[in-house]
Amino acid sequence: MRLELIARPSPLRLIGFPMLALALTVVFGSSLALLAGANPFQTLGLILRGAAGSQFALLETLNRATPLIFTGLAVAVAFRAKLWNIGAEAQLYAGALMAVLIGTGALGWPSGLLLPAMAGAAMLAGALVLLGPALLKTRFGVDEVVTTLLFNFIMLLFISMLLEGPLKDPMGMGWPQSSRLIPEARLPRIVEGLRLHWGFALALIAAGVVWVIQSRTTLGYEMRAVGANRQAAEFAGIPVGRVMLKTALLSGGLAALAGFSEVAGLKGNLTLDLSPGFGYTGIIVAMLALLNPIGVVVSAIFVAGVFVGADSMSRAAGVPTYIANIMLATALLTMVLAIALTRYRVRWD
């Protein structure tokens, strides 16, 4: 069996295979619902309605997509340069921590100054969190998959320590949570009365900025070159190590914005359950988007929709929400295969 590169894939191929992947995902998810004793058509309908069936549902999906866009972009930027950042979760919490440190009354600035300061500090913290593993990689060849992954646990335990100690909310009735942000530190809603905060708009802007960086700047060209062929990049005189570090700073900063936006836009304080694995789900989002920053927005909304829809379906039909995780995993696997099949033909000989 061999794979043959197709020079010019037909439109049918480009659309057909991803559609087939989606169909397979739906069929597989439905058969699981059947196993759980529910009517698969009803289940599917409930998921769709829960994700996009009303204004409320749609905004809920977009709210859930916001942190996923940030972490998806963080992963997409890093993976494009073959810097395997599995630590978006840690960078997210670093960003959330900075938002809380600055936004709970330490600075009494007006919103117009306070929010940019919080976002900036968050990005800086996230960037520094990833800089460590990146330096270990470029200097000593330490595998960043291991270091960034393990850093997630270090960060979570560190936050846990802070929430049990110095950052503990004196009014929190003993819960491990931080004090609440002052009103000036909250991201306002985009439209008054609608439950969608400015974090979503910021995420869209971030996606646009990443797209511009990748396609229009020398840094983006360098990052893509280093990722596509490190040896050729070195030969051409691209400073591979420095590009890796810059990539790490950008990626860490983007992931940290997810933490900032969740705290300032949605939760209002820092708790240990701020992120139900947004950092890890960001990997799925980025892979589904083929690391394309605009694609990240689309795939983040799709992934968020599956989660939100499955939550609502689970409440209505009594099918476990795990079905969402399984559907996403199926979607990822079939989609990656389908995308390979749009570019390669399988030859059996």
Partner 1 sequence: MRPEMGAQGPVLRLDGITKRFGALVANDAISVTLWPGEVIALLGENGAGKTTLMNILFGHYTADEGSVEVFGAPLPQGNPRAALAAGVGMVHQHFTLADNLTVLENVILGTQPLWGARLDMAGARAKLARLAEDFGLAVDPDARLGTLSVGERQRVEILKALYRDARILILDEPTAVLTPQQAEALFAALRKMVAQGLSIIFISHKLHEVMAIASRVVVLRHGKLVGEVAVADTNPGALAEMMVGARITPPELRAAAPGATLLELRTVSTPDRGTARGLRKVDLALREGTITGLAGVSGNGQGALADLIAGLEHLSGGEMLVHGAEPVTWSVAHALNAGIGRIPEDRHKTGTIADFSLTENAILERYRRPPFARRGWMDWGAARGFTDTVIRSYDVRCPGPETRIRLLSGGNMQKLILGRAMEGAPKIILANQPVRGLDIGAITFVQTQLLAARDQGAAVLLISEDLDEILTLSDIIHVISEGRLSPPFARGTMSAADLGRWMAGEGFERGQDAA
Residue 180 near residue 268 (C-beta atoms within 8 A)? yes
| Backbone angle region of 193, left / alpha / beta, with phi > 0 → left and psi within -120 to 50 → alpha | left
Q: Which is nearer to partner 1, 158 or 344 (CB)?
A: 344
CB of 228 vs partner 1, minimal distance in Å: 5
CB of 12 vs partner 1, minimal distance in Å: 18
Residues forming the site for partner 1 (CB under 8 A): 4-5, 7, 216-222, 224-225, 228-229, 231-238, 349
* Cα–Cα distance for residue pair 73/234, rounded to 1 Å: 26
Q: Which is nearer to partner 1, 55 or 217 (CB)?
A: 217
Q: Which is nearer to partner 1, 158 or 221 (CB)?
A: 221
CB of 222 vs partner 1, minimal distance in Å: 8
Q: Which is nearer to partner 1, 194 or 236 (CB)?
A: 236
Q: Which is nearer to partner 1, 236 or 340 (CB)?
A: 236
Q: Is 66 exposed, middle or buried (0-12, 13-18, 19+ CB in 10 A)?
A: buried
CB of 229 vs partner 1, minimal distance in Å: 4
Tokens found for residue 205: 């802007």
Q: H or E segment at 5?
A: strand 2-5
* Cα–Cα distance for residue pair 134/235, rounded to 1 Å: 21
Residue ranges in 81-197 assigned as alpha helix (H): 88-103, 111-140, 144-164
CA 133 to chain centre: 19
Q: Which is nearer to partner 1, 130 or 233 (CB)?
A: 233
CB of 224 vs partner 1, minimal distance in Å: 8
DSSP labels, 32-59: HHHHTTS-HHHHHHHHHHHHHSSHHHHH
Q: Which is nearer to partner 1, 28 or 221 (CB)?
A: 221
CB of 233 vs partner 1, minimal distance in Å: 7
CB of 81 vs partner 1, minimal distance in Å: 13
Residues 6 or more apart whose Cβ sits within 8 Å of residue 146: none
Q: H or E segment at 216?
A: helix 198-216
Q: Which is nearer to partner 1, 189 or 224 (CB)?
A: 224
Q: Is 178 helix (H, G, I), strand (E, B) or coil?
A: strand
* Cα–Cα distance for residue pair 29/276, rounded to 1 Å: 21
CB of 256 vs partner 1, minimal distance in Å: 23
Nearest one of 28, 90, 78 to 210, comparing CA atoms: 78
